[in-house]
Structure 1
Amino acid sequence: MAGMEQEWRQAKRPFAAIIGPPGFWLALFFLVPLAIVWAYSFGRTLGLTDIAITGTLDNYARVMDPVYLDIFVKSLGVAALTTLLCLIIGFPVALAITFAPPRAKAWLLMLVMLPFWTNLLVRTYALMAVLRNEGYVNTVLGWGWDGLRAMGLSLSAFQPLPLLHNNFAVVLGLVYVNLPFLILPLYAALDRLDRSMIEASLDLGAGHLRTMREIVVPLALPGILSGLLITFVPALGAYLTPDLLGGPDSQMIANVIERQFKRANDWPFGAALSFMLMYLTFIAIAGQAIVARRRRARAGA
């Protein structure tokens, strides 16, 4: 033990030399600006560019206004629905990748990560091209409609489906953007499973569904919770997707924050909204940590 302590003391200086520059960069360009914005949330606007830090809680009290609370609740609902849909779609995909042959597994993982190689703005505009009235979906449906009329069915003219600039488009866009964030942690958790336990369950006659419910899901639960958190947090703070795909009633809390900083020039209130969002994120992370700690305690017992 004394030898290990001596080695640690000797390694402190090299460790500090390695961690020092990135730590300084993180503090200067992340923590300091974050602290400034947090201080703004306790201030009030004096003029066009002047903000007085008065220690007031009026901005946080204003967040409790029903108008903004409704937007917060709606944002939570949209983020939760997005996360649920990503789980429903992503779990079978992650499971298929886990049990795929090695060569196919590499290609499948590359396909999952392929969207990260393209800018989010480009992907969102591509989705708009698919969903708009003259987009690919409505064009194909129109061809089918014309084909049915050509077969002699008495049908009215095809009316394009309203797939864009509504809540449906926002949820679809968020699922499209965030799905890889759930598939990759799920795959990492499933790939570490002891497959002998799965084989034993099947050999004992449990069946695939029961094995999935009682063996695979409990063993992969930490990865599932991590994936849910990684998906929920970006979906809750999404700005670009609701802004481009949503309509007048599709705004989320990030869109309100953007307006406070750019159009309303009310930085203190925008800062308070931003940190309310961050507080919710901290609560979600703390909840995930508590669940993981209790799970480890039960496993140790």
Structure 2
Amino acid sequence: MGRGAYGGTIRRFTVDAYESLADFTYLKAVGRSICMALKSSVLCILLGYPFTFIVARKWKKSGKLLMFLLMIPVYTSSLARLYSLVIMFNSSGLINTALMKLHIISSPLQILYTNGSITIGLVQYLLPFAVMPLYSSIEKLDEATIEASYDLGAGKIKTFIKVILPMTFPGIIAAFIILFVPAIGTYFITDVIGGGTVYMIGNIICNQFLSARNWPLGAALSVCVVIFILLMLYLYSRIGNLDDLGAM
């Protein structure tokens, strides 16, 4: 599929679009997308695992209610939640205003339109999706195995590291896949919080289809993302259990 002179496509076999992917601009966007997706996915798991563990192990009676309350933001507008972050992060927002009134800073901090603000936006968007596979794996822990670890003299920390963590590892990997896949292709978060100054692979794909009208290049980028996701699913099938993806 080739690009027409005025946009659109020409139906002919060509690899020109795939050859264009070697351009440094696209490689940089791919690298940034992978780094941001990795960072946000790991942060979601680090934040979600302790909360989910406490809910599943300590607050069993109210656990399902808490999980339901945590999932409520999923059914609200993602853009509305993102714009609430914009209000908090801008130069006259809640954070800068509070810090200046406390005389911690003398001038507003540049929080909005940075990699840090994009990471926070990704985390708040993806965090609810992390807790479901984590909750499923923690809830199914074998109590007999944990008690046996205590009986053999292992303390709480050693039992967690040697017994509980390996038993919940498939759930952790499932959560990582569920988080990483949308994180690498999400573009509206970088548009809203990044202000269009930070480009990820999703932004470039969107621009190729809607603005540049270079559909072959947009399709080539999309195919590469799909192949990368399929590769991750294959790796997960080798080290985890795909049934956990359907256990939510």
Same fold (TM over 0.5): yes
- Please tell me whether the aligned partners of residues 130 and 175 of structure 2 are also in contact (alpha carbons under 8 angstroms): yes
Residue 24 of structure 2 is matched in structure 1 by: 66
Map residues 45-194 of structure 1 onto 2, 5 A cutoff.
45-48=3-6, 50-145=8-103, 158-194=106-142
Task: Point out where structure 2 has 5 or more consecutive residues left out of the alignment.
Answer: 242-248
Secondary structure in 2 aligned to 1:158? coil
Question: Given the alignment, which residue of 196, 211, 218 partners 2:144?
Answer: 196
1:262 aligns with 2:210: yes
1:244 aligns with 2:192: yes
Residue 272 of structure 1 is matched in structure 2 by: 220
Report the Cα offset of residue 248 of structure 1: 5.2
Q: Deviation per CA, 1:131-161, whole angstroms, max 9, x where unpaired?
A: 111111112212211xx7xxxxxxxx72112
Q: Matches of 2:24 and 2:5 in 1, distance apart?
A: 27
Task: Point out where structure 1 has 5 or more consecutive residues left out of the alignment.
Answer: 1-42, 149-156, 294-301
Greater than 6 Å deviation, 4+ residue runs: none
Report the Cα offset of residue 107 of structure 1: 2.8
Q: Matches of 1:139 and 1:274 in 2, distance apart?
A: 42
- Please tell me whether the aligned partners of residues 170 and 241 of structure 1 are also in contact (alpha carbons under 8 angstroms): yes
Report the Cα offset of residue 101 of structure 1: 3.0
Greater C-alpha radius of gyration: 1
- Please tell me whether the aligned partners of residues 261 and 267 of structure 1 are also in contact (alpha carbons under 8 angstroms): yes
Partner amino acid, structure 1, of 2:164: V
Q: Matches of 1:245 and 1:210 in 2, distance apart?
A: 41
Residue 181 of structure 2 is matched in structure 1 by: 233
Secondary structure in 2 aligned to 1:227? helix
- Please tell me whether the aligned partners of residues 71 and 253 of structure 1 are also in contact (alpha carbons under 8 angstroms): yes
Residue 29 of structure 1 is matched in structure 2 by: none
Partner amino acid, structure 2, of 1:81: K
When residues 160 and 45 of structure 1 are mapped into structure 2, their CA distance, relative to the original with a 3 A threshold, is: same
- Please tell me whether the aligned partners of residues 124 and 241 of structure 1 are also in contact (alpha carbons under 8 angstroms): yes
Q: Matches of 1:67 and 1:102 in 2, distance apart?
A: 50
When residues 269 and 159 of structure 1 are mapped into structure 2, their CA distance, relative to the original with a 3 A threshold, is: same
The higher relative CO (CA closer than 8 Å, separation ≥ 6) is in: 2
- Please tell me whether the aligned partners of residues 190 and 196 of structure 2 are also in contact (alpha carbons under 8 angstroms): no
- Please tell me whether the aligned partners of residues 36 and 184 of structure 2 are also in contact (alpha carbons under 8 angstroms): yes
Report the Cα offset of residue 249 of structure 1: 4.5
Residue 7 of structure 1 is matched in structure 2 by: none
1:210 aligns with 2:182: no
Report the Cα offset of residue 286 of structure 1: 0.7
Instruction: Say how many residue pairs are matched.
Output: 241
What is the Cα-based RMSD across aligned positions, in Å? 1.6
Partner amino acid, structure 1, of 2:154: A
Q: Matches of 1:254 and 1:134 in 2, distance apart?
A: 30
Residue 282 of structure 1 is matched in structure 2 by: 230
Percent identical pairs in the alignment equals 32
Q: Matches of 1:279 and 1:115 in 2, distance apart?
A: 30
Residue 40 of structure 1 is matched in structure 2 by: none
- Please tell me whether the aligned partners of residues 167 and 247 of structure 1 are also in contact (alpha carbons under 8 angstroms): no
Q: Matches of 1:266 and 1:73 in 2, distance apart?
A: 22
Partner amino acid, structure 2, of 1:212: F
Report the Cα offset of residue 181 of structure 1: 1.1
Partner amino acid, structure 1, of 2:38: A
